[in-house]
Structure formats: structure tokens, C-alpha cells
Structure 1
Amino acid sequence: MTASFRIRKGKGNSATIYLRVTADNQRLEKKTRETVNPIFWNGKDSTVKNPNRVSATTDEKERLVELKKTLNGLSTYIADQYRNRKDTEIINGQWLDEVIEAYYNGGRRTELLDNLNNFLNHFIEKILPHKSAENSGKVLSTRTQDKYRKIIEHLKNFQTKENLNLKVSDYDKHISDRFQDYLKNDLKHSAVSIGREITIPKAILKDARRMGIQVNELVFTEVKGSKPETPCPILIIDKKRGIDELQQLKDFVTIDPRLKLCRDWMIIGIHTGQRVSDLFSLSPNQIITIGGERYLVHTQQKTGAKVEIPLHPDVLEILEKHGGNFPEKFLDNPDSNTTIFLKLIKRLCKRAGLDRLEYGKKYDEENKRYIYGHYPLYEVFNAHSLRRTFATMYYGEFPTSVIKSVTGHSTEQQLLNYIGKKDDPLARKFHEVWKRQREEAKAAEDIRKAN
């Protein structure tokens, strides 16, 4: 590969300097940002004349010195880029344009993005809006994208605090561990949150690798996130033990209109199995009738899953009470509405006597973190408990495939993990069948003897 310069005269005493590259049996020529007075150009040597041997002002000579340095630097940079090119790079006019621009801008696109903060900015602007979940292929929900943005903000603040200016390839298990300590000690995040949060930088680094940016490959195997079980207390409905906390909630008498409204929403949540974000977006327009029975067809906000929810008699009764509509919301703003709902849930459960000790988490305002322990049920019962109560209440009554079609879980194993159940080994099914066969044989024998 050879590189040289030539000029193309324009109007007056200014000529544009062009870079000519000969490589791979090609002759490429592109304009640089430099100009020169033709009288100071040495056409034979394709460069600027020696400033000490021309008749020029001091300013002109100083400019010629800088111009010579710039052209020499550009020539060296082009040679380095060609020598270190990847096998997949195509040497053409576009390549030369990119390299020239990179010389003036401090590096090629991938070189600039090798700086971790630069890549994080690029990720937010160009990649995140179109990023898909690996398991479903669907574009990440707004909520998940917000989580990415928050972790990126934490990662930048972590670098500032630690006085780090990392390259993408610098991010390894050691840096991940330090970031984890930052989340725990500085931001007071819980182990549950951190277990999920440290996996997000790994996902971001995968996109960097796809772009050809160098990453530390060990980070994908050495940094392991965790998903500790998040306590989510439920209402116990166990007829054999004579416990029915749902009925206890329904039987509680109150004249407080907000508590009545809260109870209606709780019952709807328990019998529909929907997340609170979906619960308050339910509409009577989504109700259809099939075979004389009424169903609610709803597309879940978090996953985009379309679910068909059979409407329980208790839900139909609430709709009828509200003139065929769902109960009114507490506030129009979704976040504020949810906040009030959560507060009312705890107040209602306390008033209804749901005070058995249950393992859960409470937020410690002083230390700004969740504290795990055993508390009265009304202190740790939350909106998510409604959905989990639904899944647990009907587990064993209906096939898991039926339940997950309502909750929107993509696999039965996800549902079983969600409600804390272990999948029965297939071999156990044999014993169930054999037991039923023995019972049927015994019944047949009893009938035979009776006759």
C-alpha cells in the first residue's frame, strides 16, 4: 500500500489537497480537509515545500510546518489502518473516507466506541430502542429499557466515583465485582436487585462484540447473575385446614369507600392473575362471550402476551355493582394510582385481621434499603401478591398449561418457579397411574363379590 498527496487548484491562491492510496490493485483518491497555496506545493515530492526554503511570512511558514505534520500524520495513520485491517474489511472509497474522517475526529467509529462511556451513550441512542429479548425476539418493553438506562447511569457514576476511564475490553469480573460492591454499599441495593442488575452490562457487552469491538470474553462466563427468590406472600385458601383468607377479606365489613374500592380491585386481581400494570388497564370493551360464558381478552403490557381470562363470578358481581364497568381508579396518573393502591392494600389487610407472620421485605427509610424478615401479613402483602395468589390458588385444580395461559408465563417451568413448586418427575406419574388402576381393580372386585 502506498499513500501520496496531490493538489487540485481552485479559485485564487487556494488548492485542495487530495490523498491518493494505491492498494489491492486499486487507486483510490479522496479529498482531505487541508488546503494550500499552490506556490508552496512540491508536486514532484507530493508534499509541502520546505518552509525554510520559501519566501513567505512568519505566519505562513508556521502554517506550512503544521500542514506538513498533519499530512505526515495522515499518511502514517492510513498505513497503520491498512496494516491492522480485519480480514472482513473491504478496501474501497468508503473505507478511505471513513479512515480520513477518523484521523480528524480522533479515531474510527469502533475505536471511539471502545471507550466504555462512549459505547454506553451509543447503546442508549442507537441500540436500546430496537433491542430484542433473546428468548422471545420481541423488542424490549419500555419498563425494561428504563432498567437498562438506570443501570447505565449507575455504571457511569461508578466510574466517576472510582476515577476510572474504562475501555469496553476493560470490563471483566474484577470490574463487575467492584460495580457490585458499589450497588450494595453506595446505592444500598438489595441482593435480589443486584443479582439481576449485574447481568445487564453483560447483555450490553454482547452488542459491543457484535459490532466488532473488542471485549473480555471471560466476562460472559465468569460474571454470573443470580435470581434469589423474592418473597411474595399470598392469601392462603386451604379448605382442609379451615383457612380461607380470601373469604376473610370479602367478609370484612367497612364503610370506608376507598377500602371498598381497594377490596374490589384486590378481588379482581386475585381472580384474573394480572400484574398491577395490567389490572388498572382492564376495560369492559375487552370482554367477549363464548358459549354463554364471559371472558376478558387482554394484551399484557410487560410481555405483549395476549391472554384470555375467564371471568370469575366474584368479578362479574363487582362489574355489575359498578354498572357493567370496572371500579374507578384512585388517580389518573398510573404511578400515583399504584402507590395509593399499595397503601390501601396494607390498611385493608390490617383492618381485616390478616396478621399472621409471613416472611417478606419492608423498606427501611433510614438506611434506604429493604430488610428481610418475618412480619405481619398486612405489612408485606403487596399488589404482586394478588397475581401469585391466583397462580397458587388454582395450581392442582387446573393443568399448569391452563393457568399459564392466563398469567402469560411463556413456559410451565416459569409458572412452577413463580409459585415455588417443583415439577413432578415423570417417573412419579407411573405410580399415580398404578394407584388409580389398583383402586379401580379393587372397586371392580368389590362389585363382583357383592353380586
Structure 2
Amino acid sequence: MLKTKFFVRHKSGEVITPIYVRVSNGRAFDLKVATKETCIASRWDDENGMMKERFFVEQKGKLVEKRDGKTRALFLESKEVNERLQDLAKKIDKAFKEAEEVEFNTEWLKTVINPPVVVENTVPDDFVSFCPVFIEQKKHEISKGYTIKVNCLKRIIKEFLKHSKKKTLKFSEINLKFKLEFDKYCYEVMGYSVNYTSTNLRLLRIIAYQAERNGIKLHSQIKLVKSKEEKTIFQILTPAELKAIENHVFEDVDLDNVRDWLLISVFSGQRISDFMRFNVEMLTKEELENEQEGYFLNFIQDKTGHILHLPVHPKILEILNKRGFRFPPKYDEDKYNKLVKTVCKDAGITEMCYGGIEKNRRKVFANYPKHELITSHIGRRSFASNNYGKIPTPLLMVATAHKSESMFLRYIGKVDNQQSHALASYFFN
């Protein structure tokens, strides 16, 4: 009789761990393979072989089931993963029953979990024609913004082909020769920045690897098709500058609204695609461990798809209270980026700073008044940078949704000094 059970190797802690499946049939075989699913170790129910769907807290010596907004989000996430695991168990059972003259080993089980892509003659082998196929195959995994990036790269490649007097770009032609020609086109003809060109080549490789999964042959040099990147230069708003912005009196209604959105972005650490969607329906009021009450924002990040249960900063509550417990009116990103520069200029954020301003489709780096360098992303980066070292990094990562501390440190332009400090302790002891 076929038995299927799911398990994790890490049984505790907040580490993200793969979920494995164990499939056995008496003494005939006993197979263990990693599935596509992962979970936080502490949320795994080892007894049931599934993710926990109920969460408890001890109150007065008794276990009481938690029913707050954060727990509801955890339940929904666990339920989705468990349903996929149950579907996989049924899939494995069906494959076992239908198998004829098959050797039941780990390769068989891996094929059941990750079946090879069926290659059809209709799958194109040139980059431009494959882009819509990529979007269709990844539609449940990529965001709207990512789709826009793919279509933008498709347009750039079409323009590159036209400039090069070529009809198509076959995946088998994406090699070092192509890379050199594409770099030259981007830098000299289009005036694109080094980082923008590097980002496009990275996306091109991702699309190429998806084509390979569809049976399309790639050039052996595909891994070498990448460009150098320059260190990102960015600005943040300091606590003193934020105080100046907060205290400035704006007569213009739009500037007053955008000032409040800027403060909301700084004290929530979110992208404009998320904070500009904030509304009071996302708020829940919950009891904290210190017997106080706090508000939380419950939403799904637009770019990452992460479910967030974000505590509302007191400064955001001040803004809500002054507005009759409503968020400010919403603005599209272009208008916001234009108005936020005026907000900072009027508040005196005008010191000369080195940075890049986009001119003719590429960034020109020079010294500019700081307010000219302000965009919607400064709120998120200011949140991360200003709180680094004051709030434990893992807690900051809850808000920013960075997957690793190294990614977070790169984001704020910091290096991990732990080993350096450890060495220094030997020098002075």
C-alpha cells in the first residue's frame, strides 16, 4: 500500500525550510524528495505532516486560540500550501497506480513532482516571439510590473535588431558577440546607464532559461551574457529633515496631502505601489503584549506578493487622526514624484548632493539640490536606513520584506561589520 507523508528537516525556529515528501510502499521502496513548497519551521505541524492552521497563546495557564488579523493571514497562507500538498499527494498516488514497467526511484518521484515541459512545435526559438509565451507561462508567478519590464525589454530588442539590420534574435545566437553589440547599442546609441543595461541582460537570461525548459537550445556562452554594475548612489531623508517637512505649513492642499503621504511612506517602509493603496479597511486594532492596543495594516505587497501584518507607526496615526481617521487622497506616481520635490524644496531640503537625474533616457550624475533627487522610493529607503542599528534588523525586514539580511544591507548601502568587530575585539583584549 502506497504511503505519502510530508515532513521538514528543521523542526523549530524561524528559518525557511523546504517541505519534503516521503513515499513508501512496504519494503518495495522508500523515497524522499524535496517538493516545490517551503515553510517557516515553527509553523510546521510534524504530527499531521502539514502546515499549522490553528495558532494558540497561553493565557492564565490555558491555551487560547488566536483569532487576530495576523493569525488570519497565517491561516490563509497555510491553507493554500496544505491544499497544494494534498493535490500533490493525489497526483503521486495516481501516477503510481497508472505506472507500467516503471522503476520506482527518486528520479521517478522527481518527474512526478516536476514533470518536464511538453515541447510543442509552436514554441518559438527567437527571443521577441517567445516573450508572450514567457508571460503566459509565468502569469501566476510574476507581477504586473514584471510583465511591463518584459515587454519593455522586448521593445528594446526589436529596436536593437532594427538598428543592426537583423530580422530575429535566436536564443542560440545570444552569446558574447551579441553581448558586446548590445552593450555598444545601449551605451552609445540609446544612452542607457550601465545598471539599466545590466538589469536588462539579467532579465534576458531569465527568459532564455525559461525557453530552455521548453526545449529550446541555448548558446554555451549564455551565462557570460552579463554586464558590470555600478554602485547605486541614493539619498535618504534624515530625522532632522523629516522634522522640517512635518512642521512646515503648506497652504496648497496637494502639497499638504503629498507631505502626509511622504511621511506615511517613511514610517511604513513601503513602496508607492503599496502605500498609495492604504485605506482604513486594511486596519485592525489588536491587543499588544504590554496590555496596550495597537493598529495594524493588513495587505499583500504588490511587487512581492508577501502578506504583511504591519504595525502602524504613531506618526501615521497622528496623520490619520488629523484627517478624521482617513488616509490622504491618492495620486498617481508621476504626479506624486513631481509634487514631492516641491514639498521638500519648500521645507528647505535644498543642500547640494551628488546623485543622478534622468535626462534623455539615462541618468546624469552631478551635484544637484537635494529636493531634485527626491522620488517616491526615498520613503522606503529612509525607513530602512534611519532605523538600522536602532531596531533589530530581522524586525526591520518584516516591514521591508527582504528575504535575507545580506539583501537588506545591500539595499541600504551597508556592509556586515560583524566579522570586523570580532577581529577588533582581539586587538583590544
Q: Count how many residue pairs are aligned between Structure 1 and Structure 2.
A: 305
Equivalent residue for 1:185?
A: 188
Q: 1:343 maps to what in 2?
A: 338
CA contact (8 A) 1:196 1:226 kept: no
Q: Report the counterpart of residue 405 of structure 1 in structure 2.
A: 398
Residue 140 of structure 1 is matched in structure 2 by: 142
Matched-pair contact (CA < 8 Å) for 1:265–1:327: yes
Q: Superposition pairs for residues 373-392 of structure 1, below 5 Å?
A: 373-392=366-385
* C-alpha contact (below 8 Å) 1:273/1:390 kept by paired residues: yes
Secondary structure of 1:232's aligned partner = coil
- Runs of 4+ aligned residues of structure 1 deviating over 6 Å after TM superposition are 430-435
Paired residues of 1:141 and 1:302 also in contact (CA < 8 A)? yes
**What whole-Å deviation, never above 9, does each CA across 1:310-343 have from its counterpart, x for those lacking one?**
212211011111211111124xxxxxx2111111
1:324 aligns with 2:325: yes
Q: Which has the higher helix share?
A: 1
- Are 1:211 and 2:197 counterparts? no
CA deviation after TM superposition for structure 1 residue 263, in Å: 0.8
Aligned to 2:414: 421
Counterpart amino acid of 1:305?
H
Which of residues 103, 113, 118 in structure 1 aligns to 2:124? 113
Shift of 1:278: 0.7
Does the 8 Å CA contact 2:245/2:344 hold for their aligned counterparts?
Answer: yes
Taking only aligned residues, the RMSD between alpha carbons, in angstroms, comes to 2.5
Does the Cα contact within 8 Å between 1:306 and 1:408 map onto a contact in 2?
no
Tell me, what secondary structure is at the counterpart of 2:377?
helix
The residue number in structure 2 matching 1:95 is none
Is 145-154 or 265-274 further displaced after alignment?
145-154
Higher relative contact order (CA 8 A, sep 6+): 2
Question: Can you give the 5+ residue segments of structure 1 that lack an aligned partner in the other structure?
Answer: 1-107, 133-137, 238-243, 331-336, 439-451
Percent identical among aligned pairs is 28
Residue by residue over 1:166-196, the C-alpha shift from the partner in whole angstroms, topping out at 9 and shown as x without a partner, is: 4321221111221122222232222221111
CA–CA separation in structure 1 for the residues paired with 2:426 and 2:244? 38
Counterpart position of 1:150: 152
Residue identity matched to 2:384:
A
Which residue identity does 1:318 align to in structure 2? Answer: I
CA contact (8 A) 2:123 2:214 kept: no
CA distance in 2, matches of 1:112, 1:303: 28
Task: Decide which of 226, 229, 233 is 1:224's aligned counterpart.
Answer: 226
Which residue is 2:39 aligned to? Answer: none
Paired position in structure 2 for 1:268: 264
Check the 8 A contact 1:180/1:198 in 2, yes or no: no
Q: C-alpha offsets along residues 264-289 of structure 1, whole Å, 9 cap, x if unaligned?
A: 11110100000011111011111122
SS state at 1:383 partner: coil
Specify the code of the residue in structure 1 equivalent to 2:206: A
**Shift of the alpha carbon at 1:207?**
2.1
Task: Choose the corresponding residue for 1:393, options 378, 381, 386.
Answer: 386
- Per the alignment, residue 279 of structure 2 pairs with 283
- Residues 110 and 213 in structure 1, CA contact (< 8 A), matched pair in contact too: no
- Matched residue, 2:174: 171
Contact 2:134 2:207 in 1 (8 A): no
* Structure 2 residue 136 is matched with structure 1 residue 126: no
CA distance in 2, matches of 1:325, 1:434: 55
Evaluate the alpha carbon distance shift between residue 343 and residue 217 of structure 1 in structure 2; reply closer, same or farther with a 3 A threshold: same
Structure 2: runs of 5+ lacking an equivalent: 1-118, 288-292
Of structures 1 and 2, the larger Rg is shown by 1
| TM-score of the two chains, using structure 1 as the length reference | 0.63
Tell me the distance in 2 between the aligned counterparts of 1:212 and 1:396. 49
